[in-house]
């Protein structure tokens, strides 16, 4: 067999193993090892590549950004910053039509600016926002749909674990990815808010609630109390993103500053004891180890593909087919969205990017802009059946038999539509992504 044939066979084998339930990192590593063995006809070369790839992929100072930002995210969740953001946003937006839904989007945007995991946002605001919206007469489908939809801001507004992963895979600056995600993230949050107001005006049976009804029995906070709730958030955002943008430190340093700040805030608010601290550290370790294995597997997979010649073959075939950059991008986005129906976000990046990045580079696309397009498309998969990870997180966190998975999936449909429109805008107007670079 030729190297090209081996490459395609191992690619099919890897997808089959994942479909059968094997962990993505193991499937990537195993098929890469076998592929190199067959291509080079030497198990010694395959073993050597396995060892070298494992060392090279994570033995770097920049890799420290992963555990630091994960730790910051868990500490922020412990400190109830998401709840504080929701309460402040609720008071400021309570008289708007669909105000609680907009408050949920605004709070999620704020929460996303100091965490990097969409699933954490979904879990936090399911506990905080959904009961409040149901109490004020909003429909279960809207209440859960708006939480699921706005949870994707956690991966788009920096810091973002997916942006960190994309930076490793594409070898672009993680700090540049963070800066590029700010405008698209804010654009999506604004588009969500406008969409909620329009739905409340023209589709009240879906939204429920009432215009200004939330304000009647809401215990109002004073300016001082609101400022006290927002101050920790503002400090963290300025310390992390402001430090990167001003050039004071890189993304890894920013992660350390953010984790230290989140720790101090949690201690100051008396939300952290020895038991919770240990739990946070263990969970941070679990996530970091999982990401480490994924990155190692992706590194081996990339090297095997390079040896097989599959990326070069795909570049030549797509160019010869005459699709052009926009045609390739359309096919790529459809592929990503379809994969999101069945595979989690990180796995999609690990499987697809080693094949598609050479093609994007061949079309002279800006890889930072391409990365933001990729992340928005991947995040749509968090809301679509049958996988819809955010939907399953909301269902398990809510623990309410009256609200079914079907209700939540239906509730996410308007927000999936808004995401697709926003994605189209980012494709047509690259300046939205690159404005701060």
Asked if 28 contacts 298 with a C-beta cutoff of 8 angstroms, the reply is yes
Q: What pLDDT score does 62 carry?
A: 66
Tell me the helices (H) and strands (E) count for the chain, helix number first: 23, 0
Q: How many CB atoms lie within 10 A of CB 306?
A: 14
Asked if 102 contacts 96 with a C-beta cutoff of 8 angstroms, the reply is yes
Strands (E), 100-144: none
Question: Quick one: tokens of 176?
Answer: 């540049």
Q: How far is CA 190 from CA 185, 203, 359, in A?
A: 9, 19, 32
Q: What is the pTM of this model?
A: 0.81
Residue 360, C-beta contacts closer than 8 angstroms, at least 6 positions apart: 328, 367, 370
- CA 228 – CA 240 distance, rounded (Å): 19
- CA 214 – CA 129 distance, rounded (Å): 13
Asked if 144 contacts 400 with a C-beta cutoff of 8 angstroms, the reply is no
Asked if 375 contacts 156 with a C-beta cutoff of 8 angstroms, the reply is yes
- CA 277 – CA 244 distance, rounded (Å): 27
Q: What pLDDT score does 188 carry?
A: 94
DSSP 269: T
H or E stretch covering 333: helix 324-340
| Residue owning tokens 């994707």 | 152
- Mean pLDDT of each 10-residue bin along the chain, 437 residues long: 82 82 81 85 79 70 76 80 77 75 86 75 82 85 91 84 87 88 92 92 81 54 76 82 77 83 86 86 84 78 80 75 84 87 79 87 92 92 79 82 86 93 94 88
Q: What pLDDT score does 209 carry?
A: 67
């Amino acid at each position: 067999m030729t190297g090209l044939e081996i490459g395609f066979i191992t690619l099919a084998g890897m997808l089959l193993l994942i479909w059968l339930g094997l962990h993505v990192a193991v499937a990537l590593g195993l098929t890469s090892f076998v592929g190199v063995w067959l291509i080079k006809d030497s198990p010694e070369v395959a073993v050597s590549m396995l060892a070298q790839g494992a060392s090279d992929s994570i033995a770097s100072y920049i890799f420290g950004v992963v555990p630091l930002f994960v730790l910051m995210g868990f500490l922020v969740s412990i400190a109830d910053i998401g709840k504080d953001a929701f309460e402040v946003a609720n008071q400021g937006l309570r008289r708007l039509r669909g105000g609680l839904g907009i408050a949920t989007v605004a709070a999620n945007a704020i929460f996303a600016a100091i965490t990097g995991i969409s699933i954490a946002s979904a879990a936090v605001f399911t506990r905080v926002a959904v009961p409040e919206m149901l109490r004020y007469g909003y429909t279960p489908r809207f209440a859960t749909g708006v939480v699921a939809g706005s949870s994707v801001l956690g991966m788009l507004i920096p810091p973002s674990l997916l942006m960190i992963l994309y930076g490793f895979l594409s070898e672009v600056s993680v700090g540049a990815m963070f800066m590029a995600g700010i405008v698209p993230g804010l654009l999506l949050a604004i588009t969500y808010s406008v969409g909620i107001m329009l739905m409340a005006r023209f589709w009240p049976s879906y939204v429920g609630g009432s215009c200004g009804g939330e304000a009647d029995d809401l215990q109002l906070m004073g300016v001082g109390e609101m400022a006290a709730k927002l101050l920790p958030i503002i400090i963290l955002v300025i310390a992390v993103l402001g430090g990167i943008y001003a050039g004071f430190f890189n993304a890894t340093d920013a992660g350390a500053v953010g984790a230290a700040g989140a720790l101090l805030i949690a201690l100051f608010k008396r939300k952290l004891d020895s038991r919770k601290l240990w739990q946070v550290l263990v969970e941070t370790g679990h996530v970091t180890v999982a990401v480490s294995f994924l990155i190692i597997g992706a590194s081996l997979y990339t090297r095997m593909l390079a040896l097989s010649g599959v990326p070069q073959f795909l570049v030549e075939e797509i160019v010869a087919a005459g699709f052009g950059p926009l045609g390739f991008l359309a096919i790529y986005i459809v592929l990503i969205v379809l994969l999101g129906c069945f595979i989690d976000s990180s796995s999609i990046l690990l499987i697809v990017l080693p094949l598609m990045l050479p093609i994007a580079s061949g079309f002279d696309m800006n890889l930072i802009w391409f990365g933001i397009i990729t992340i928005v498309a991947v995040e749509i998969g968090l809301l679509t059946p049958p996988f819809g990870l955010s939907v399953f997180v909301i269902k398990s966190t809510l623990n309410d038999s009256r609200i079914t998975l079907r209700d939540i999936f239906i509730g996410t449909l308007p927000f999936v539509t808004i995401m697709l429109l926003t994605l189209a805008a980012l494709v047509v107007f690259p300046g939205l992504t690159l404005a701060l670079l």
